Amino acid sequence: MSNTKRIIIVGGVAGGASAAARIRRLSEEAEITMFERGKNISFANCGMPYHIGGDIPNRDNLLVQTPEQMQKRYRIDVRTQCEVKSINRQTKTVTVENLVTHEQFTQNYDALILSPGAEPFIPPTNGVKSSRVLTLRSLEDMDRIKEAVDKSLNQQAVVVGAGYIGLEMTEALVKRGISVTLIELANQIFTPADAEMTAPLLEQLETNGVDLKLGTSITNISEINNSLELTLSNNEKVTAGYVIMSIGVKPEVNLARAAGLKIGSTGGIEVNENMQTNDPNIYAVGDAVEVPHLLNGNKVLLPLAGPANRQGRIAADNIFGRKSIYKSSQGTAICKIFDLAIAMTGLSEKNLKRLGKRYEKIYVHPASHASYYPGSSQITLKLLFDPENGKILGAQAVGADGVDKRLDVLAVAIRAGRTVSDLADQELCYAPPYGSAKDPVNYAGFVASNAISGDMPVCHVEQILSASENQYLLDVRSKAEFQAGTIPNAKNIPLDELRNRISELPKDKEALAFCQVGLRGYLACRIMQQNKIPCRNLTGGYKIYKYYTAANNP
Ligand code: FAD
């Protein structure tokens, strides 16, 4: 028997194309066939909103590899517009339909890699099948949306779902001069992150004229006079030329399920750490599979391009006897919304609460680079950690600049099992145009370490809002800042007057101190602690109070 391996790959984009290229690098002998239902392979799906919005004017720039290039460079038999209809595990064959000729044929494999991705979730709303209700997954979808945009400049569009794709599409449409109503069922946008971290994004949407409707869904869609009339759950009616439906994706598992492959509790294909399904000759990767979460081992669906690409490579390695493992995902992701970016890694606070895990949190608002060098802007960074051992559990950041760099450092720290004191010790790049001598990551480490050591006991907006009669709110900002707006019932003693007015503070009640961002509150706490006055500092300061209240009463 020949040693040549016949490999079939289902799906020719992120996971599938990575697997194909890796296989060829490992074996000149392998016979590789890649079946792709669509017209294109290896296209930049993540770039599609930016083509619609005009940032990437040339459509061809989205074609990372064409079938011809893939054939020429990697000697891969690429069959586009060919859908794998079924898998026969006994005979190790797949049945394929050529979608142009409708011919069906079978082909056998020694190893099969499934990378079929995830499909947009479509709610069962009356009228949702209208051709004016569009989704964005393939280049053909993108072309349809672009055509609708090109034809209907100045029209109203509705985007349903304020997740990654919904927000990117909202920005793209606004950039094209379309007025957008953004409808989101949850009471916050960008639900992977915690609500208060999304408050600056609400401002961005408002500034750019987006009509955001939170806690709302569509109950009916009717086609009237070349446009759609949408009835919302609050009985409001909205007219739109078209609707972009982006309320999430679900793994495409029909093929796997019909072949008797195990589907996990999340709805994704079950795989082991080698990306192998319960059939040792069949591997599965990408958006279609469930993976363990780094921080608790729970199975999760995290449909992101990085994991899909890495898993494709890992499946290829294992087919060729290289023991390569995919350990876990941690949900490191970033999204641009007009002038801001929001990014996160690890567990969010709401996830930690849901899991009943012990955690503490701090917020800092440092400058993206030395504030005396032009162009710096503030980053709001939230760090979640275990208050007993300091282990970092999650991080989120929002800002105009430098958010990606900080979150990437924190993602690596989480993956390495580091603690907040390791962040304080971390040596990072610094010159004024790029950072600060105390980088935002160091700074978050200092603040979290102070919270753990008790040098700066922290309190949170939730505690400020439910302060008991044994506590009082102390605003240590300047008189002018206090007069411009403070937290109801707060007493004002500016930090620089605190030492002289310390006798005004009771020793039998706890001061919940706050300033604008948390630094003066910390200094005030140091003074009060050394004067035996019980106190805690509102981490993130008045700014976080404002974010919290804006996000909770949008
Ligand atoms: P896909 O890349 O979706 O590929 C699956 C392919 O399989 C599809 O082309 C499908 O046609 C084909 N297929 C399915 N079934 C069959 C069958 N039976 N026979 C033949 N072919 C089949 N992720 C990020 O990390 N960052 C981003 O910024 C980002 N932006 C995104 C923006 C958009 C608009 C979209 C849609 C996704 C974005 N993603 C982003 C997600 C990322 O693209 C996916 O996580 C990644 O592509 C998943 O790779 P995959 O191989 O599992 O699936």
- Summarised one tens digit per residue, pLDDT across range 187-242 is 999 999 999 999 999 999 999 999 999 999 999 999 998 899 999 999 999 999 99
Low-confidence ranges of the chain (pLDDT < 50): 1-2
Place of tokens 């509705």: 158
Calculate how far, in angstroms, residue 453's C-alpha sits from the geometric centre of ligand 1: 46
Are the C-beta atoms of residues 397 and 378 closer than 8 Å to each other?
A: no
Which residue's CA lies nearest to atom 31 of ligand 1?
A: 46
Which residue's CA lies nearest to atom 53 of ligand 1?
A: 117
Backbone angles phi, psi at 115, to 5 degrees: -135, 60
Backbone angles phi, psi at 446, to 5 degrees: -60, -50
Any idea which residues carry the catalytic annotation? 46
Closest ligand 1 atom to Cα of 288: 52
pLDDT at residue 1 in the model? 40
- Residues lining ligand 1, Cβ inside 6 A: 10-11, 13-16, 35-38, 45-46, 48-49, 83-84, 115-117, 136-137, 165, 252, 255, 286-288, 303-306, 308
Mutational pocket test of ligand 1: of 37, 77, 121, the residue with most ligand atoms within 8 Å of the beta carbon: 37
Cα–Cα distance for residue pair 360/382, rounded to 1 Å = 10
Cα–Cα distance for residue pair 441/345, rounded to 1 Å = 14
Are the C-beta atoms of residues 35 and 82 closer than 8 Å to each other?
A: yes
Calculate how far, in angstroms, residue 36's C-alpha sits from the geometric centre of ligand 1: 11
Cα–Cα distance for residue pair 418/404, rounded to 1 Å = 19
Cα–Cα distance for residue pair 228/221, rounded to 1 Å = 7
pLDDT at residue 554 in the model? 62
Calculate how far, in angstroms, residue 343's C-alpha sits from the geometric centre of ligand 1: 21
Calculate how far, in angstroms, residue 12's C-alpha sits from the geometric centre of ligand 1: 9
Count of alpha carbons within 13 Å of 419, Cβ hemisphere only?
Answer: 9
Cα–Cα distance for residue pair 292/395, rounded to 1 Å = 19
Closest ligand 1 atom to Cα of 335: 28
Calculate how far, in angstroms, residue 307's C-alpha sits from the geometric centre of ligand 1: 11
Count Cβ atoms within 10 A of the Cβ of residue 230 and give its class: 0-12 exposed, 13-18 middle, 19 or more buried. buried
Are the C-beta atoms of residues 462 and 477 closer than 8 Å to each other?
A: no
Calculate how far, in angstroms, residue 243's C-alpha sits from the geometric centre of ligand 1: 21
Closest alpha carbon to 434 in 517, 367, 338: 367
Which residue's CA lies nearest to atom 18 of ligand 1?
A: 84
Helix, strand, coil share (%) of the chain residues, nearest 5: 30, 25, 40
Which residue's CA lies nearest to atom 12 of ligand 1?
A: 11
pLDDT at residue 154 in the model? 63
Are the C-beta atoms of residues 109 and 5 closer than 8 Å to each other?
A: no
Count of alpha carbons within 13 Å of 506, Cβ hemisphere only?
Answer: 12
Closest ligand 1 atom to Cα of 287: 52
Cα–Cα distance for residue pair 294/40, rounded to 1 Å = 33
Are the C-beta atoms of residues 528 and 512 closer than 8 Å to each other?
A: no
